[in-house]
Amino acid sequence: MRRTAGLLVTLPLLLAVACSSSSKAPAEVSPSASSAAPTVPSPVSEASPMPTVEGSFGSKAVITLPAGQPGGQFVINTVSEGDGATVNKGDWVTVNYSAKDWTTGKDLTSSYDTGGKPQLFQAGSGQLVPAFDQSVVGKKVGSRILVVAPPAAAFGAEGNTALGVGAGDTVVFVMDIVETLPQDSTLSGTMTQAPPTSPQVKDNGKAAPTITIPAGQAAPTELQQFVLIKGEGNQVKTGQTLVVQYTGVLWSNGQQFDSSWSHGGAQALQVGTGSLIEGWDKGLVGQTVGSRVLLVVPPALGYKDQAQGAVPANSTLVFVIDILEAV
């Protein structure tokens, strides 16, 4: 729903190739790589010399650089292999990372540092620098990966002043693959229906759920929240990036106006910061990961008196949202 549902994909700018903004709504805008990006060399699994890595999966890596300058090769090497699902192109991937500038020998910002957080991105989509974007495809969850990224696979001839990477520097990353979610991910399980005076939901497996508006009922004037499947994950916090599947219909006639199933599957968005309609911010913060939530959003918490595509002005909106991940 691009203000109707414009998805705000939240990417740390330090690692993004390019990032575009969106207006308020629940879904869909994808950052694209710059057309001026340099040609990325084909990755290899070994090179000489090579950095060494100490530490275990799930903790900040100690990266030791060899003597001499990097050889200019793009290296992707599996330090330790996990036994989880394989990451496929297009999957939403969560990784933790440690980093070091080979050219200067300086340690760089890590997701394990105080205030750091895991990186969420779509594998192979061009959202982040190739060192991240390409390195996880074909790897398994639970794996620790060493990546030696020459400028073309990292921050190019300009470097990244915010991260402390100079022009033309080679960067070493150690990445821990925490989770992968395919685009068609959805929740399953026995649903608890909302009261009969509220919308009813029929599960359709990998397809969008069917939402039926109760006949003869006036649209509510306050936000309604119903947990149809209770997840066992952590509570969603303000400012987190969520991966969700969702579908939305109009209370007035039950017509579907937007659905993640209609534009590529699971979407990423930032919640609780005003980038979404207010009904989503209020309705999703505090829910648990793994939950399927029914939200009935009155106009005051939706698009108010503004028409948005297939959504007339002053519309009450009904959403079913699967919360798949929160980072």
Name the least confident of 20-29, 170-179, 298-307. 20-29
What confidence score (pLDDT) does residue 39 get?
A: 84
pTM for this one?
0.86
When pLDDT is cut at 50, 70 and 90, the band that residue 15 belongs to is low
Q: How far apart are CA 245 and CA 226, in angstroms?
A: 16
pLDDT at 13: 40
Distance, C-alpha 278 to centroid of its chain: 20
- pLDDT above 90: percentage of residues in the chain: 75
Judged against a pLDDT cut of 80, whether residue 10 lies above it is answered with no
Closest-CA residue to 26 (of 3, 58, 49, 55): 3
> What integer best gives the mean pLDDT of the chain?
88
Residue 40's pLDDT band, with cuts at 50, 70 and 90, is: confident
| H or E stretch covering 283 | helix 278-284
- Give the Cα separation of 155 and 296 in Å (integer): 44
For position 3, what pLDDT does the model report?
35
The pLDDT tens digits for 278-290 are 999 999 999 999 9
pLDDT higher than threshold 50 for residue 47: yes
What's the average model confidence in pLDDT over 289-306? 97
Tokens linked to 77: 């090497």
